Amino acid sequence: MNKYEFNSRRRELMDMIGKGSIAILPTAPQRIRNRDALYPYRADSDFYYLTGFPEPEAVAVLIPERTQGEYLLFCRERNPEKETWDGRRAGLEGACEVYGADDAFPITDLDDILPGLLENCQRIYYPMGVYADFDSQVVGWINQLRERSRAGVHAPSALVSLDHLLHDMRLYKSDAELDLMRRAAEISVNAHKRAMQTCRAGMYEYQLEAEILYEFNRGGSRSPAYASIVGGGENGCILHYVENNCVLKDGDLVLIDAGAEFEHYAADITRTFPVNGRFSPAQKQVYEIVLAAQAAAIATICPNTHWNEPHEAAVRVLTAGLRDIGLLSGNLESLISEESYKRFYMHRTGHWLGMDVHDVGDYKIEAEWRLLEPGMVMTVEPGLYIPASQDIDSCWWNIGIRIEDDVLVTAEGCEVLTAAMPKTVADIEQLMAGE
Ligand code: GLY
Ligand code: MN
Ligand code: MN
């Protein structure tokens, strides 16, 4: 992503909040995994979206029309000794020269400098309630100004959540963002293909996960966008199964939900396939229902469709399919309106996708579902999960299937960013047979 894009995002936000406002954004803290071991560092998405600055311990400040500079970055100073231990830092100079800040200050001076910047501002925009320490820091700065009220200092009178403005910007992806999302999708497709090609009965789920992670890293992704789900047999019916520690059995399906993060953008793909490379008749029947539901959902996606239409389309096909195979009985409209399908389909059909796998952006505008517009990216991920149960014919037991693709809304309709990933029964069986 080039630095002009970050600059134009800051400009757009500053134009929206206007003179008299200040926006303050901290990045995410480093998190301890255990004792001296840290989790791999990942910047806060909102912060990174506006700055492109990848280091921890940083706060961005935007003050529209401030003559001495509108964009200030607080960050770590250069320190040769610390850098020898913990890695390179941009320092104050890098913050300005590489990351485009008008001025940069040591993060250790934040409490000294920030109250002065708040003087004469009427409104503070910040990510309210995201980082508890930061929330109390903001209140502390305001109280410092209030204590000086008899000296004529005005504390800002409004605290405003940044979410609404910033998250609406993030919902519409630019061409540069879509380039990165296409790369994340391509890497993820290669990983899922590799998993299909290497899967054998007797492997552990984590060994299949290793094939996915290998391909992510090899392709230039430095991290999965979320914990990969590799669930064989009944584990495929656990929606957020991440233990991935069971043996894959001949005759079972395996469900893999895994997506690469590429330069802070996520892909999110699910495929379900037979461990031994051939779908059984029952598996195939259920698979075809889910596949048809996904096709029906994707077919609704175009500008001016409302957010819930793909879900409604998927639910209709899934419910009809469940009735066709005898897992539900009764009138189709009643089964839908009474939500009888929820026993086998208990989640929604998608979510926004972007820097965060469950990306930001409102799904409703006041009481109405949002209308889709070009540039929005969403997942389409219907599924059916059939547990072992006395009232269900055992031929369906432990069939858990989800099929998930990433879809961009375009002016003409939509584009499936993950279309290169096989998903018909024939294409999957062919790939697994090495043909
Ligand atoms: N992988 C998370 C989801 O599909 O929503
Ligand atoms: Mn998803
Ligand atoms: Mn997923």
The answer to whether 240 is a known catalytic residue is yes
Q: Which of 345, 351, 363, 402 to mutate to test the pocket of ligand 1 (most atoms within 8 A of CB)?
A: 351
Helix, strand, coil percentages (3-state) for the chain, rounded to 5, are 40, 20, 40
The answer to whether 81 is a known catalytic residue is no
Q: Please tell me which residue in 209, 381, 405, 406 is annotated as part of the active site.
A: 381
Instruction: Locate 217 and state its tokens.
Output: 């890293």
Question: Which DSSP string corresponds to 69-90?
Answer: -SEEEEEPPP-HHHHHHH----
Q: Of residues 297 and 144, which shows the higher confidence score?
A: 297
Is-contact 71 100, C-beta < 8 A?
Answer: yes
Q: Quick one: average pLDDT of 181-195? A: 98
CA distances from 66 to 14, 25, 52, 75, 111 (A): 11, 17, 22, 20, 20
User: How confident is the model over 404-417, as pLDDT tens digits?
Assistant: 999 999 999 999 99
The pLDDT of residue 435 is above 80: no
Phi, psi of 301 (to 5 degrees): -80, 115
DSSP bridge partners of 49: none
Q: How far is the CA of 363 from the centre of ligand 2 (A)?
A: 15
Q: Quick one: average pLDDT of 215-232? A: 98
Q: Quick one: average pLDDT of 158-185? A: 96
Instruction: Give residue 181's pLDDT.
Output: 98
Q: Which domains does the chain have, with CATH numbers?
A: 3-170 (3.40.350.10), 172-432 (3.90.230.10)
Which of 143-147, 292-296, 362-366, 397-401 has the least mean pLDDT?
A: 143-147
Q: Which of 268, 269, 294, 349 to mutate to test the pocket of ligand 1 (most atoms within 8 A of CB)?
A: 268
Give the separation between CA 249 and CA 293, rounded to whole angstroms.
27
Instruction: Give residue 17's pLDDT.
Output: 97
The answer to whether 358 is a known catalytic residue is yes
Q: Please tell me which residue in 46, 268, 359, 406 is annotated as part of the active site.
A: 268
The pLDDT of residue 246 is above 90: yes
Give the separation between CA 105 and CA 124, rounded to whole angstroms.
20
The pLDDT of residue 2 is above 90: no
Phi, psi of 393 (to 5 degrees): -55, 135
Instruction: Give residue 396's pLDDT.
Output: 98
Nearest CA to ligand 1 atom 3: 268
Instruction: Give residue 157's pLDDT.
Output: 86
Q: Quick one: average pLDDT of 324-348? A: 98
Instruction: Give residue 362's pLDDT.
Output: 96
Instruction: Give residue 409's pLDDT.
Output: 98
The answer to whether 36 is a known catalytic residue is yes
Instruction: Locate 378 and state its tokens.
Output: 């969403």
The answer to whether 306 is a known catalytic residue is no
Q: How far is the CA of 374 from the centre of ligand 3 (A)?
A: 22
Q: How far is the CA of 299 from the centre of ligand 3 (A)?
A: 20
Q: How confident is the model at residue 1 (pLDDT cuts 50, 70, 90)?
A: confident
The mean of the pLDDT values for the chain is 97
Q: How far is the CA of 402 from the centre of ligand 2 (A)?
A: 10
Residues with Cβ within 6 A of ligand 1? 226, 257, 268, 351, 357, 381, 404
User: How confident is the model over 197-212, as pLDDT tens digits?
Assistant: 999 999 999 999 999 9
Give me the percent of the chain exceeding a pLDDT of 70: 100
Instruction: Give residue 152's pLDDT.
Output: 84
The answer to whether 192 is a known catalytic residue is no
The answer to whether 351 is a known catalytic residue is yes
Q: How far is the CA of 129 from the centre of ligand 2 (A)?
A: 25
The answer to whether 257 is a known catalytic residue is yes
Q: Please tell me which residue in 123, 323, 351, 370 is annotated as part of the active site.
A: 351
Instruction: Give residue 136's pLDDT.
Output: 95
Q: Quick one: average pLDDT of 241-249? A: 97
Instruction: Locate 276 and state its tokens.
Output: 């031994």
Nearest CA to ligand 1 atom 4: 268
User: How confident is the model over 302-319, as pLDDT tens digits?
Assistant: 999 999 999 999 999 999
Other CB atoms within 10 Å distance of the CB of residue 86: 11
Helix, strand, or coil (residue 291): helix
Sheet of 260-262: strands edge to edge? 223-224, 260-262, 265-266
Q: 180-190 as b/e, with b when 16 or more CB fall inside 10 Å?
A: bbbbbbbbbbb
Instruction: Give residue 311's pLDDT.
Output: 98
Instruction: Give residue 356's pLDDT.
Output: 98
Instruction: Give residue 150's pLDDT.
Output: 83
Q: Please tell me which residue in 15, 36, 81, 435 is annotated as part of the active site.
A: 36
User: How confident is the model over 28-56, as pLDDT tens digits?
Assistant: 999 999 999 999 999 999 999 999 999 99
Q: How confident is the model at residue 250 (pLDDT cuts 50, 70, 90)?
A: very high
User: How confident is the model over 10-32, as pLDDT tens digits?
Assistant: 999 999 999 999 999 999 999 99
Q: Exposed, middle or buried: residue 87 (CB in 10 Å: 0-12, 13-18, 19+)?
A: exposed
Q: How far is the CA of 268 from the centre of ligand 1 (A)?
A: 6
The answer to whether 404 is a known catalytic residue is yes
User: How confident is the model over 90-128, as pLDDT tens digits?
Assistant: 999 999 999 999 999 999 999 999 999 999 899 999 999
Q: By C-alpha distance, which of 311, 308, 316 is closest to 335?
A: 316
Q: Please tell me which residue in 78, 164, 222, 240 is annotated as part of the active site.
A: 240
Compute CA 340 distance to the chain's CA centroid, rounded to the nearest angstrom. Answer: 29
Instruction: Give residue 149's pLDDT.
Output: 81
Residue carrying structure tokens 């609406």: 168
Q: Please tell me which residue in 177, 205, 309, 404 is annotated as part of the active site.
A: 404
The pLDDT of residue 220 is above 80: yes
Q: Which ligand 1 atom is at minimum distance from the Cα of 351?
A: 5
Q: How far is the CA of 28 from the centre of ligand 2 (A)?
A: 23
The pLDDT of residue 301 is above 80: yes
